[in-house]
C-alpha cells in the first residue's frame, strides 16, 4: 500500500509540485530543482519496487488509528484555540481532555495534571525565564 503511495507521491512531486513550487535559477553549478527532482525520482522508483516486493509492516488496528485521529484532532483544535485565546487558557482544558480520554478519573491526579502542571509551566517560563507563553 505504501509502495503505491510513494510511487504516486514521487511522480506528483516530479511532474507537478516541483515545477510549480521551485523557481529556476540562472547561476551556480546546481539548479534549485536538481536535488528535489533527484529525490522525487528516488522515492518514486523505491515506491515502485515496494509495489512489486511487499515487506512486513508494523500492525496497527483500525481502532488504534481512529483513536490517533481523535487525539490529533484535539491537538489541532487546541493549536487553533491557542492562537485565539493563548496557552494560559487553553492548556488546562487540553490537559483535562487528554487525561479524561486516557481514562484518568482520580481527582488528585486530574488536578495535578490539569491545573498543577500548567501553573508550573507558567511559573517557570513566564516568571523564572521571563519568556512569553504561546
Partner 1 sequence: MAGFGDAFSLVNLAFVLFGVVVGQFVGAVPGIGPVMAMAIAIPFTFGLDPLPAIAFLVGVNKGGLVGGAVPAVLMNTPGTPDAAATALDGYPLAQQGKPLKATKMALFASITGDTFSDIVLITVSAPLAVLALTMGPVEIVALMIFTFSVLTGLMGRSLLKGVISAALGLLFAAIGVDPENSTPRLLFGMWDLYDGLPLVSVAIGMLAISEILRRLSRSKGVVKPAVEIDATGKPEDSRVSFAEYWSCRFTMLRGAAIGTVLGAIPGIGSTAAAFMSYAFAKASSKNPESFGKGNIKGIAAAESANSAVVGANLIPLLTLGIPGSVGAALIISAFMIHGLQPGPLLFQEQGRLVYGLFGAMVLANVINLCVGQLGLRLWVKVVSAPESVIFSSALLLCIVGVSMATGGLFGVGVMLVFAVIGYLMSSFGYSVIIFIIAFFLGPRFEISISQMLALTNSEPPQIVNYPVALALLLLSLLSFIWFWFRNKKAEAELKD
Which residues of the chain form contacts with partner 1 (CB under 8 A)? 1-2, 6, 13, 17-18, 21-33, 35-36, 39-40, 42-43, 46-47, 49-50, 53, 55-58, 60, 64-65, 67-68, 71-72, 75-76, 79, 82-83, 87, 91, 94-95, 98-99, 101-106, 109, 112-114, 117-118, 121, 125, 129, 131, 133-134
For residue 107, the minimal CB distance to partner 1 (Å) is 12
Place of cell 487525539: 71
End-to-end CA distance of the chain: 39
For residue 127, the minimal CB distance to partner 1 (Å) is 13
For residue 55, the minimal CB distance to partner 1 (Å) is 4
Place of cell 488546562: 92
6 in Cβ contact with 47 (< 8 Å): yes
Separation of alpha carbons 86 and 101, rounded Å: 22
Separation of alpha carbons 123 and 27, rounded Å: 52
Amino acid at each position: 500500500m505504501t509502495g503505491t503511495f510513494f510511487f504516486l507521491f514521487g511522480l506528483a512531486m516530479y511532474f507537478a509540485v516541483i515545477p510549480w513550487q521551485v523557481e529556476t535559477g540562472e547561476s551556480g553549478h546546481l539548479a534549485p530543482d536538481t536535488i528535489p527532482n533527484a529525490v522525487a525520482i528516488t522515492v518514486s522508483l523505491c515506491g515502485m519496487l515496494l509495489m512489486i516486493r511487499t515487506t512486513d509492516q508494523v500492525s496497527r488496528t483500525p481502532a488504534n488509528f481512529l483513536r490517533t485521529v481523535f487525539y490529533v484532532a484535539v491537538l489541532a483544535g487546541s493549536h487553533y484555540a491557542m492562537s485565539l485565546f493563548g496557552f494560559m487558557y487553553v492548556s488546562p482544558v487540553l490537559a483535562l481532555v487528554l487525561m479524561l480520554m486516557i481514562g484518568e478519573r482520580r481527582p488528585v491526579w486530574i488536578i495535578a495534571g490539569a491545573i498543577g502542571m500548567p501553573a508550573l509551566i507558567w511559573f517557570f517560563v513566564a516568571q523564572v525565564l521571563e519568556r512569553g507563553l504561546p
